[in-house]
Structure 1
């Protein structure tokens, strides 16, 4: 006798149940093999947002002490993974370099970078390679930097003359602001030469400097639009609106400079010297670079990169080095002794002296070990799920490399909180900024390492050597010098360094 047929609905239900059980088994097996990194539980929907400390480098370092060198934290819908050891940094930046090379744009970063069109914030595709190649080969190569040495030298000398006037009057100066003025003048001169001159040059420079700090501050603020994307259109904190206004101001200044530059293009074409903006506008007119489309958006994105990353990161580092040396007068004296031996009392500092200023170079490296330019670097975003340290890092998460914690790790550095420039002399003299050793990589490593290292290193040492060779420095009476930092895309001193210079050279012509 033939068995009665089972209802088709029952068969479908049984098949669905079997499939669900099979997928559940695979899910559990996969998670047992490679779970998410450990981390705090948080609250429903908002995760750990209510407990977030705005000083993220310190907050993430405390997390590492609790959960280990790789941990995760959920902020709204966004998963952050924080890596805090050299060995795990190697897995991110070497073993999975290509997978980890992309960025995840925040709401504010998307606005100021023209939708992620800058070198720092674009994904590691063909457009990113094109932009990086243009900057590295046309403005940041050794040949390009050597060609504008006289320009840099002139700006450094102008700063020394200005400070000589302050010293004669016994006036205190904002060291960071003076360094920012010097570096931004150099960068603007390299970008568009004499297109903007006189009072207009000073006005444009000040407006750029002021806007850049606002942008850096806005990008560092936790934004609910990033953590709960459904709320982004409401811009509850008003951060996107503020960033949009800053972008509008940037665009307005760029439009004025580009218009003036185009009016002078005929003179340049007739034999005048081309600057960087001339070259970019030439590419934009041709519409391509190495068969890749090149537009006005690319022009402006590169300018934004140079102005934001180039000037403020460099000047902030100079301020930190000056503050740390003033806090450690024995190290300051040793730097000045070295300058007297290498440069001499009757001479001024030249870039040719830099290779022989070994202790000053070591002091710069030791300062950047303790106070890296960007303590968490720019976040990486994996294009596919991968395994780091035995844990799954999901596709689309934000991966932070806590270089702040790594460079202060007592398992890596002896007495890590002490300022010892001697660490970078002797056997460690070859430890550089290029990220080859993942116990010290203040400018990143791998394919996303900072492209501006050669220029930054040269400018930092040249300007610092000039400041310390030409002047003695002290804080105003009744003022206490501290080294308290505040988190941002660029690490800043909480209180600006204000100091009084005293001329060390008797001959005014040396200024």
Structure 2
């Protein structure tokens, strides 16, 4: 095994390569057009098998679409696939790769991952900050109730854009945890110039980091900046830096200790003016705090939006969720975070939504740092890795009726399957070294928000019409 992973003479066969590549651009066209990339790549499995390669410009990328191939990558070869390629999005939007989610595997990444896991996102820290989650959910629900009481129609109903409401709430939670500030004063349902500025910058961040751009595919053409993509990235980065730099200066003027510390306070204490590898302390703090905001807000908003949409399109399941809330919480008190443990059907519902509609259906690129073997195929150093999470999580060999929304499967046939990446048939947060460090925070915020919202309100669509489940590119928004 050691020889096969780190340069054995008998390299083995190459994986199948998708035909139809264009000169210079390769298969870049597969990542554009009207069909989303994970759907396009999934359609190639029948012809090429679960492991194949495509050329993204000059880069060869290995695409895997089964849990067995994922297990091969994230167990035997995990350290080999724990790096990131140097993309233009990472360069311009993450302080030249200081944001550890974009950093290559090495001493800097290991140090920042350890600091984040032990200091910022530990169970103890999340317990200290649970009042932030609880208070923001309650504030947002009260604001929504006030809006309903003032603007309800004759039927006693209020139309709400839930994606916008979920977005405002999740940004408020993560902003308070990171910088001790709220993003929206009104739950995100009306105009707030400064809040919209912050939200717009974050939305643009997710748009650009999720795109394959020509300069990544063909690096020597990056200077042309066709379409002005790099210019837009730099503009977004400048706006985000302006916002977070202001917060950092405010935190430097005050000293907060104990349970009232936010993430920026903790980072200031942990870094304490040190120069970490090639980044100064301020850059590390700003990059890490932005990583917390980006990782803790949009994916949660997307998960909440998909879950509620699936419930609205499956009324019998929604009815069971309401019945469970009535049984374990009742109508005589507010729901507490401690109630979530008893809401097993609610938990299964969120799991099933993340299986069927993962926030990132096609993983961000990884890069092989050594020659190795995956599924019996030789993969050379420098190859990119793309994991089709959506294809893996809808594999009919693993999931009966894979395109059906069935939370019950997580109470019966798949009751021991978790979302934390330990079982490779379900890994919406990734797996092993590069798994999202904020899994617990994301799950806690998602479950508390959804359960509390449904405990407060009855919900339906206008005219009971089905929700349009058409997907879009930016983290499936």
What is the TM-score with the length of structure 1 in the denominator? 0.84
Residue of structure 2 equivalent to 1:178? 165
Residue 396, structure 1, aligned to residue 382, structure 2: yes
2:198 pairs with 1:208:
yes
1:450 aligns with 2:440: no
- Judge which range, 187-196 or 119-128, deviates more: 187-196
Aligned residue number for residue 393 of structure 2:
407
Deviation of the 1:36 alpha carbon: 3.7
Corresponding position of 1:38: 17
1:195 and 1:35 map into 2 onto residues whose CA distance is 52
Q: Residues 263-274 of structure 1 correspond to what in structure 2 (within 5 A)?
A: 263-265=253-255, 268=256, 273-274=260-261
Alpha-carbon distance in structure 2 between the residues aligned to 1:220 and 1:191: 23
TM superposition shift of 1:324? 0.3
1:231-288, CA deviations, whole angstroms, 9 ceiling, x for partnerless residues? 01111121111010011111111221122222223xx37x894322122123343416
Cα distance in 1 for partners of 2:129, 2:358 equals: 27
CA deviation after TM superposition for structure 1 residue 476, in Å: 2.3
- 2:338 matches 1:357: no
Equivalents in 1 of 2:238, 2:275: separation in Å? 26
**8 Å contact kept, 1:100–1:383:** yes
Residues in 1 aligned to 2:16 and 2:374: alpha-carbon distance in whole angstroms: 9
Q: 1:48 aligns with which of 22, 27, 31?
A: 27
Look up the SS of the partner of 1:473 in the other structure.
coil
Q: Distance in 2 between the 1:362 and 1:115 partners?
A: 39
Q: Name 2:231's counterpart in structure 1.
A: 241
Q: 1:204 to 1:131 in 2, by over 3 A?
A: farther
Q: Contact conserved, 1:377 with 1:443, CA < 8 A, in 2?
A: no
Change over 3 Å in CA distance of 1:235–1:448 after alignment to 2 = same
Q: Where do residues 464-479 of structure 1 align in structure 2 (5 Å cutoff)?
A: 464-477=450-463
Give the direction of change, closer, same or farther, for the CA distance of 1:227–1:384 in structure 2 (3 Å limit). Answer: same
**Who is 1:428 aligned against?**
414
1:228 matches 2:218: yes
Deviation at 1:479, TM superposition (A): 5.6
- C-alpha distance after superposition, 1:132-182 (max 9, x if no partner): 122222221111111112221111011111221233323311111111111
Per the TM alignment, residue 204 of structure 1 is displaced from its structure 2 partner at its CA by 4.5
Q: 1:163 aligns with which of 120, 123, 144?
A: 144
Which position in structure 1 is the counterpart of 2:274? Answer: 287
Q: Distance in 2 between matches of 1:131 and 1:204?
A: 30
Q: For residue 46 of structure 2, what is the aligned residue in structure 1?
A: 65
The verdict on how the C-alpha distance between 1:49 and 1:294 changes in structure 2, with shifts beyond 3 A counting, is closer
For 1:109-148, what aligned pairs fall within 5 Å after superposition? 109-148=90-129
Report the 3-state secondary structure (helix = DSSP H, G, I; strand = E; otherwise coil) of the residue aligned with 2:60: strand
Kindly tell me: are residues 418 and 75 of structure 1, through their superposed partners in 2, closer, same or farther at Cα, counting changes over 3 Å? same
Contact 2:15–2:51, Cα closer than 8 Å, also in 1: no
* TM-score, length basis structure 2: 0.90
2:4 corresponds to: none
Alignment RMSD: 2.4
Q: Which region of structure 1 is more displaced relative to structure 2, 215-224 or 358-367? A: 215-224
Equivalent residue number for residue 14 of structure 1 = none
CA shift digits 1:12-35 (9 cap, x unpaired): xxxxxxxxxxxxxxxxx967x322
- Larger mean CA deviation between 35-44 and 201-210 belongs to 201-210
Q: Contact between 1:130 and 1:292, CA under 8 Å: does it hold in 2? A: no
Which residue does 1:501 correspond to in 2? none
Q: Which residue of 2 aligns with 1:5?
A: none
Partner of 2:263 in structure 1? 276
Give the 3-state SS of the residue equivalent to 1:472 in structure 2.
Answer: coil
Contact 2:175 2:182 in 1 (8 A): no
Aligned residues: 457
Q: How big is the shift at 1:192?
A: 1.8
Are residue 99 (structure 1) and residue 86 (structure 2) matched?
Answer: no
Partner SS state of residue 143, structure 1? helix
The residue correspondences of 1:325-404 to structure 2 (distance < 5 A) are 325-404=311-390
In 1, are the aligned partners of 2:365 and 2:386 still within 8 Å (CA)? yes
SS class of match (1:387): strand
- Unmatched tracts of structure 1, length 5 or more: 1-28, 493-511
The answer to whether structure 1 residue 302 and structure 2 residue 288 are counterparts is yes
Paired residue for 1:500? Answer: none
Q: What do residues 164-216 of structure 1 show as CA deviations (whole Å, max 9, x unaligned)?
A: 123332331111111111111111111122599979x9654432221111121
Inter-partner Cα distance in structure 2 for 1:482 and 1:313: 19
The structure-2 alpha-carbon separation of the partners of 1:196 and 1:259, relative to structure 1 and needing over 3 Å to count, comes to: farther
Matched, 1:491 2:476: yes
Match of 1:80 among 58, 61, 66: 61
CA distance in 2 between counterparts of 1:356 and 1:453 reads 20
* SS in structure 1 at match of 2:385: strand
Shift in Å at residue 330 of structure 1? 0.3
Q: Which has the larger radius of gyration?
A: 1
